[in-house]
Amino acid sequence: MCKQDSFSRYYLQNLVTTFYSREVNDISLVTCALVCLSAESCTYFYWHNRSCFIVNAASPGNSSVNITSIYVDDDLKDMCNLDGYNTIFGGVLCVKVYDVEKNWKNANTTCEQDGGQILVMRTSVFYIKLEALSLLPHGEYWIGGHDMAKEGEFTWIDGSDVTTDGWEDGQPDNYNGLEDCLQFKHLKLNDKNCIGRLKFLCEKPLM
């Protein structure tokens, strides 16, 4: 359907920074939805005061805007179809929380066996996913980053760089020279020894 009600609006608890690939000014909400539907890889957009910001997660661009809500393509949530996985913000995050504790390698393997992957938080969608994760129980979870290839240069399992200011204070510190894997510690990034056992987050990446 090429109309506004192909999308659902989700309100955010906090002011969130997101990157966008295209900005169109002085258009209606319906027209903004049409622009998203006609754009390649657009899964959500932000519209405010007749300004439309198109989000292409695969190629987000370098410009950012602070947002308070998002309009998400309704088809996205139907793609979150793995057993035990739940949608947040209509599929911006399709996630499964594993309460069983495993080391990082086994956590990664379990996510792959699920048909998903251990959670990746690329820079372009870091803060919108972080906002989604704030709705889950807080704690310590393995996620899909490490610096095994070169000490101090953290990458996600998809090969993209971990470039964010979302680290816990003083981190990463490579304590005792043994911390090569990435965890979320109460919604802050922290490096930790990969052999440690933690709960973990798997996702089916939809954006």
* CATH number at 80-203: 3.10.100.10
Confidence tier at 181 by pLDDT (50, 70, 90): very high
Lowest mean pLDDT among 4-8, 105-109, 174-178, 188-192: 4-8
- DSSP character for 34? H
Task: Tell me which H or E stretch contains 16.
Answer: strand 7-20
DSSP per-residue string spanning 114-135:
HTSEE----GGGHHHHHHHHTT
pTM summary value: 0.89
Cis peptide before 172 (omega within 30 of 0): yes
| Tens-place pLDDT, residues 17-55 | 888 989 999 999 999 999 998 887 788 899 999 999 998
Tell me if 183 sits within 8 A of 190, measured CB to CB: yes
Handedness of CA 161, 167, 170, 175 (dihedral sign): negative
- DSSP character for 113? H
> For residues 55 and 119, which has the higher predicted lDDT (pLDDT)?
119
Q: What are the extents of the domains in the chain?
A: 4-73, 80-203
As a whole number of Å, the end-to-end CA separation of the chain is 20
Tell me if 114 sits within 8 A of 94, measured CB to CB: no
- Would you say the CATH fold of 80-203 matches that of 4-73? no
Domain 4-73 class in CATH: alpha beta
Length of the chain: 207
- Find, among 159, 156, 129, 153, the residue nearest to 142 by Cα: 156
Q: Is the pLDDT of residue 1 over 50?
A: no
Handedness of CA 164, 93, 117, 98 (dihedral sign): positive
Helices (H), the chain: 29-38, 75-78, 104-114, 126-133
